[in-house]
Amino acid sequence: MKHAKILLLSIITAIVSPSIVSAHCQVPCGIFGDDRTFSELYENVETIEKAMISIAALQENPDQNMNQIVRWVVTKEDHAQKIQNIAAKYFLAQRIKMDLKESDEEKYVAMLKGIHSITFYAMKCKHGIDTTFTEKLTDAIHDFQHLYMGDDDHQH
């Protein structure tokens, strides 16, 4: 009987507890591709920009729209955080290799600067509703994509 209670409590805890699912763990399985990841980054920027525009429009009547404003702010910050997580957990931790051969060191440093720019502009998007930061974030992702993937014609 005691084991049944423990089992039941464990099942309830597993169901009720929030679980965080990450698309990119740090197991080198190779399932997720870089093209898909860049698409996800651009999609997150589009959502951030839509949120910023919606917040600005809803602020014309904040008393009636406060709940919706709050929801858009949370959405905006969530998608900015997703970009920062991809930058850190996917690119920085897994994909940018520390090949410090003299011929690779310049590209390595440039990629680190690119990831930092993406992280920085995602953070700036959290601070307000100025869409110039989504433009700068898109440019930073685009520049990093070309550096990371080579000079192929990668377009968003």
Give one DSSP letter per residue of 79-147, joined into a string: HHHHHHHIIIIIIIIIIS-----HHHHHHHHHHHHHHHHHHHHHHHHHH---THHHHHHHHHHHHHHHH
The reported pLDDT for the residue numbered 20 is 42
Least confident of 10-14, 30-34, 37-41, 92-96: 10-14
The residue assigned the tokens 């051969």 is 101
- Walk me through the domains of the chain, giving residue ranges and CATH numbers: 38-149 (1.20.120)
pLDDT above 70 covers a percentage of the chain that reads 74
Residues present in the chain in total: 156
Give Cα 7 to chain centroid, integer Å: 37
The tens digit of pLDDT for each residue in 26-40 reads 565 666 689 999 999
Rounded mean pLDDT of the chain?
A: 84
